[in-house]
């Protein structure tokens, strides 16, 4: 046998060895569909979070030996594409469950299809209350849907809880103006703000809603400035850069807090050329802050794999994939109803906190449970180019401080 031939045989044997276990495993993978908006930061994060979770689960032996196979499809922010791709993943790929989308409008269009096709569907980023209210409305028909993120009402509660502990208790702020983009998720958010802000001692002077395609925010800021509030409580996700930049460029003398979802991403500093200094936003997690023992290992693995830090939807999707894998193990089945019943029993530590779903009786059926014992999110503030955690206080690594042009009330 010539050397060449030996080498060839060895390579062949090696290849065979490499192929055999994979082939045995791949013989029967469990398919999970991901629907998302790959061109956007939160949409890309959904795909990334799912990819990372599936890789880790497969490396640890999969689900009783069967690997998870992800099918990731881009819905291009279009409901038509999303519905078509949802149907395709159910019928063609036989996905046992579908996960994704951070756009409430898309998720609401997919929900009836999850119910019609009896497909377990976990929403990981969209926030409209209607998503889990839909499940509650006709539980038997809609039980396949899980809102694996917080409904807007809880996001509002988290903002109020955070504002109470920081803005009110530490800085004696008394008045606020709510400023939200016109979108599905901000209607319940604003309702939540209007209800809970007065309770924590922040008087709501006005509630301004603006079109998401607003280009110039000067008129809004001028109007707000005349009301002389201490803080603007935002409800922004589709917009973010433009209002933040104009707030800083025009030195609007009012603190900026609430939810400024894009400010939760670490590229926001660059996108705004640093105008985000001093901006406070509710988010899922903050760099270097261990909400649970799983948070930091996840963030590190994510940064190592993708080269940038995870957006909020990466956390919720990563947790959802683990919750699904866990449910599949317990259910010992890939049929819809056993998966749904197993998901309902979810009780695990995730990256965002303790993950459990609410029951049928809850107004937000199948949404994540909220509270210090479950998931609350964090409030973070941009300070000198860094995202610092300022709430919950037990996790905080900085105290809030404001740019020079924002006056802070004297006690």
Partner 1 sequence: MLAIQILIDGFAISTLYALGALGFTLIFGVSGVLNLAHGGLMVIAAMIAWYLDTSLGTGPYVGALAGLAVCLVAALVTYGGIVRPIENSRAVPAHERELFVLTATLLWGVMIQEALSYAFTNSPITVQPLIAGTVSILGVRTPINEIFIAAVAWAVMGALWLLVNRTQVGRRLLAASINPRALTLLGFELDRIYLFVWIIYGLLAGIAGVLLGSFLGSGSDYVPGLTGSAFTIVVLGGLGSVSGTLIAAYIVGYIETLTAYLVSPSLREVPALILLVVVIYMRPQGLLGRR
Partner 2 sequence: MSSIPKSRLAALAVFLVVLALFPLGANGYILGVLTTAFYFAVFAMSWDLLFGYAGEVNFGPTFLIGLGAYGAGMSNALLGLPVPLAIAVGAIAAVAGGVALAIPALRLSGPYLGLITLVSVLLLQQAIVIFAGVTGGEIGLSVPDVLSISSAANYEYALGFMLVSGLILFLISRSSLGMILQAAGQDQVAAAALGFNATRHKILAFAVSALFSGLAGAFLVFYLGTASVSAVVDISIGVRVIIAAVLGGRRTIIGGAIGSVFLIVAGELLRPIGQLSTFVVALIALVVIVLFPDGLLGLLPHRRGA
Binding site for partner 2 (CB under 8 A): 38-39, 73-74, 76-80, 83-84, 87-88, 91-92, 104-105, 108-109, 112-113, 116-117, 128, 130, 182-184, 211
Of 116 and 399, CB closest to partner 2: 116
User: Which among 17-25, 36-44, 56-64, 168-176 is the span making contact with partner 1, rule CB under 8 A?
Assistant: 36-44
220 near partner 1, judged by CB under 8 A: yes
Near partner 1 by CB under 8 A: residue from 18, 19, 211, 290: 211
Please report, for residues 9, 75, 107, 200, the alpha-carbon distance to residue 37 in angstroms, rounded to integers and kept in the order given. 46, 6, 12, 37
Of 78 and 246, CB closest to partner 2: 78
Give Cβ neighbours of residue 339 (< 8 Å, ≥ 6 apart).
96, 97, 120, 324, 327, 328, 331, 333
**Is residue 143 classed as helix, strand or coil in its secondary structure?**
coil
Least spacing, CB of residue 215 vs partner 2, in Å = 15
Pairing of strands 145-147, 280-283: unpaired
Q: Which of 9, 44, 63 is nearest to 334 (CA)?
A: 63
Q: Is the dihedral of CA 196, 391, 282, 144 positive or negative?
A: negative
Q: Are 172 and 411 in contact (CB under 8 A)?
A: yes
DSSP tag of 410: -
Q: Which does 270 bind (CB under 5 to 8 A by kind): partner 1, partner 2, none?
A: partner 1
Q: Which does 112 bind (CB under 5 to 8 A by kind): partner 2, partner 1, none?
A: partner 2
Dist. CA 133–CA 122, nearest whole Å: 14
Least spacing, CB of residue 19 vs partner 1, in Å = 34
* Cβ neighbours around 169 below 10 Å, total: 13
Q: Is the dihedral of CA 98, 100, 106, 111 positive or negative?
A: positive
User: Which among 93-101, 144-152, 233-241, 396-404 is the span making contact with partner 1, rule CB under 8 A?
Assistant: 233-241
Of 284 and 376, CB closest to partner 1: 284
User: Which among 59-67, 262-270, 358-366, 394-402 is the span making contact with partner 1, rule CB under 8 A?
Assistant: 262-270
Of 93 and 182, CB closest to partner 1: 182
Q: Which does 129 bind (CB under 5 to 8 A by kind): partner 1, partner 2, none?
A: none
Of 44 and 388, CB closest to partner 2: 44
**Is residue 236 classed as helix, strand or coil in its secondary structure?**
strand
Bridge partners of residue 70, in order along the sequence: 32
Least spacing, CB of residue 205 vs partner 1, in Å = 17
Q: Edge-to-edge, what's the strand order for the sheet holding 280-283?
A: 280-283, 378-383, 386-391
Q: Which does 108 bind (CB under 5 to 8 A by kind): partner 2, partner 1, none?
A: partner 2
**How many degrees, rounded to 5, is the angle at CA 268 between CA 266 and CA 269?**
90
User: Which among 13-21, 115-123, 245-253, 295-303 is the span making contact with partner 1, rule CB under 8 A?
Assistant: 245-253
Give Cβ neighbours of residue 254 (< 8 Å, ≥ 6 apart).
177, 224, 225, 229, 230, 231, 232, 406
Q: Which of 117, 104, 114 is nearest to 155 (CA)?
A: 104
Dist. CA 124–CA 126, nearest whole Å: 6
Of 71 and 393, CB closest to partner 2: 71
Least spacing, CB of residue 245 vs partner 1, in Å = 5
Near partner 1 by CB under 8 A: residue from 16, 22, 26, 267: 267
Q: Which does 87 bind (CB under 5 to 8 A by kind): partner 2, partner 1, none?
A: partner 2
Cis before 182 (ω within 30): no
Q: Are 155 and 192 in contact (CB under 8 A)?
A: yes
203 near partner 1, judged by CB under 8 A: no
Q: Which does 262 bind (CB under 5 to 8 A by kind): partner 1, partner 2, none?
A: partner 1
Least spacing, CB of residue 79 vs partner 2, in Å = 5
78 near partner 1, judged by CB under 8 A: no
Of 43 and 392, CB closest to partner 1: 43
Least spacing, CB of residue 34 vs partner 2, in Å = 12
Q: Which does 116 bind (CB under 5 to 8 A by kind): partner 2, partner 1, none?
A: partner 2
H or E stretch including 355?
strand 354-355
Chain residues that interact with partner 1, rule: CB under 8 A: 39-41, 44, 182, 208-211, 213-220, 222-223, 239-242, 245, 249-251, 262, 265, 267, 270-273, 275
């Amino acid at each position: 046998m010539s050397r060449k031939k030996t080498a060839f045989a060895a390579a062949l044997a090696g290849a065979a060895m490499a192929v055999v276990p994979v082939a045995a495993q791949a013989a029967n993978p469990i398919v999970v569909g991901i629907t998302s908006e790959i061109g956007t930061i939160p949409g890309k994060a959904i795909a990334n979070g799912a990819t990372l979770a599936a890789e880790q689960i497969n490396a640890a032996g999969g689900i009783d030996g069967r690997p998870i196979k992800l099918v990731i499809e881009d819905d291009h922010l279009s409901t038509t594409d999303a519905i078509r791709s949802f149907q395709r993943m159910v019928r063609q790929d036989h996905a046992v469950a579908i996960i994704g989308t951070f756009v409430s409008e898309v998720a609401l269009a997919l929900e009836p299809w999850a119910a019609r096709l009896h497909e377990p569907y976990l929403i990981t980023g969209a926030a409209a209350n209607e998503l889990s209210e839909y499940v509650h409305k006709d539980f038997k028909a809609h039980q396949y849907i899980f809102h694996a993120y917080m409904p807007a009402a809880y996001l509002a509660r988290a903002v109020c809880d955070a504002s109470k502990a920081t803005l009110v208790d530490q800085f004696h702020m008394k008045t606020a103006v709510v400023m939200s983009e016109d979108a599905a998720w901000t209607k319940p958010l604003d309702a939540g703000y209007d209800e809970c802000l007065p309770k924590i001692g922040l008087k709501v002077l006005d509630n301004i809603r603006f079109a998401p395609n607003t280009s110039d925010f000067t008129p809004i800021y001028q109007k707000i400035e005349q009301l002389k509030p201490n803080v603007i409580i935002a409800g922004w996700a589709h917009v973010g850069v433009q209002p933040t930049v104009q707030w800083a460029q025009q030195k609007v003398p009012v603190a900026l807090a609430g939810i400024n979802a894009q400010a939760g991403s670490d590229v926001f500093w660059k996108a705004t050329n640093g105008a985000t200094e001093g901006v406070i936003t509710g988010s899922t997690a903050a760099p270097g802050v261990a909400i649970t023992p799983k948070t930091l290992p996840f963030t590190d693995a994510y940064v190592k794999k993708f080269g940038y830090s995870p957006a909020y939807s990466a956390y919720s999707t990563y947790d959802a994939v683990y919750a699904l894998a866990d449910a599949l193990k317990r259910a010992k089945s890939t049929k819809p109803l056993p998966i749904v019943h197993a998901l309902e029993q979810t009780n695990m530590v995730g990256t965002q906190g303790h993950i459990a779903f609410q029951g049928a009786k809850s107004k937000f059926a199948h949404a994540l449970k909220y509270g210090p014992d479950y998931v609350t999110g964090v409030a973070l503030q941009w300070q000198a180019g860094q995202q610092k955690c300022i709430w919950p206080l037990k996790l905080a690594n900085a105290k809030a401080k404001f740019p020079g042009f924002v006056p802070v009330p004297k006690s």
